[in-house]
Homo-oligomer: A and B are copies of this chain.
Amino acid sequence: MWAFINNQFVTADQAVLPVSDLSIQRGYGIFDFFRTVEHVPLFIDHHLVRLQHSASVLRLQLPFSNDELKNIVRELINKNNLPTSGIRITVTGGNAADTYTPTTPNIVITQSPLTMDAAFDASKGLHLITEEYVRELPTVKSINYLMGIYLQQKVKDAGADDVLYVKNGHISELVRSNVFAVTHQNELITSDANVLYGITRKHILQVAAQTMGEKEQAVSLHDVLHAKEVFVSSTTKRLLPVFSINGNKIGNGIAGTVTTDLYQRFLELEHQVIGKGW
C-alpha cells in the first residue's frame, strides 16, 4: 500500500514521523477521513472544507490547496487501486525542536481497506452509556481522543457499545459519531453546539428536510431518552440505530421506520454522488 508524506509517495513501511513531531510530543494535530466507493472519494469537498476549518482554528498552515490535495488523493487512489477504502489526511504540528511550539506541519495521507454493508440490518443497534464530558474544541477534528479511548473500559464494563457525551443535561455527540433523535411529532433534532459538524450529519439533515421537520438545536438527555427513535451517524456507520441509553430502552428497542427510511435515502444520495464520479 502507498501512502503520501509531505511531498512524496512512500510504501507503508516508510510511513513514519520523527518522534519530535508535535502529535507524538503533545497530541497536537488534526485529521479528516472519508470513504472511497468505486474509486470515488465520497463528499471529498465537504471533508476538505472541514480540514481547512480544523487547520485554521489550530493555526496549522496547510501545505496544499484543496485542489492540490485532491490531485494527491487521486494519485494515491490510482497507485493503490483499492476501490472501496478509507482515506485519512492527518496534519500535525510539525517537528518541534522545543517539543512545544507548532512549526511547519507534517501531512500524511493513508488509504486502507474499508467495506460497508449496503443493506440495513434492523436488528443491529447500539447500547450506550452517558458520560459528563464535552470534547475540547468540538468543531475541530483534532487527534485528541484521550477521553474517548480512556472511557472504552467503562463502556466494556457496562456491556455497552459506545458513550454519549452529556454536559449539564445537554447531549453533544458520541466519541466518533453524531447523534439524532426523532421526536413523537416526527421531527428530527440534533445538537447544534459542542459537536463536530459531521459530513454524514449534514447530508442526513438535507435528505430529512424533503419529508419532515429537521432542526439543529439544544438537545437534552431527556429529549433522547423519550424520543421515538434515536440513531447515530458517521462516515464509517452511515446511520445506526440506538437501542438503549444507560439501560433505558429507546422507542421499541429496534430500528424505527424513520431511521430506516433516512438510511435508504442517504444510501441513494451516496449512489448518486458516486455515479457522477469526480
Q: State the A residues within 8 Å of B (CB).
A: 3, 5, 13, 15-29, 57-59, 88, 90, 92-93, 99-102, 108, 110, 136-137, 142-150, 152-153, 176
Chain B residue nearest to A110 (CB atoms) is B19
- A88, B99: Cβ atoms under 8 Å? yes
For the complex, give the distance between the alpha carbons of A250 and B24 in Å: 36
> Which of A13, A24, A144 has the most CB atoms of chain B within a 10 A radius of its CB?
A24
Query: Which residues of the other chain, B, contact A137 by a CB distance below 8 angstroms?
Result: 146-147, 150
Query: Which residues of the other chain, B, contact A21 by a CB distance below 8 angstroms?
Result: 24
For the complex, give the distance between the alpha carbons of A149 and B146 in Å: 16
List 10 additional A-B contacts (Cβ < 8 Å) besides A19-B90, A26-B146, A136-B136: A16-B16, A23-B24, A23-B27, A26-B143, A27-B145, A28-B145, A101-B152, A136-B147, A137-B150, A142-B146
Assembly stoichiometry (copies): 2
Partner of A143, one of B24, B58, B136: B24
Query: Which residues of the other chain, B, contact A99 by a CB distance below 8 angstroms?
Result: 88
Interchain residue pairs with CB less than 8 A apart (17): A5-B19, A16-B18, A17-B19, A19-B90, A24-B143, A25-B90, A25-B143, A26-B145, A27-B27, A57-B150, A59-B153, A88-B99, A93-B149, A100-B149, A137-B147, A137-B150, A144-B144
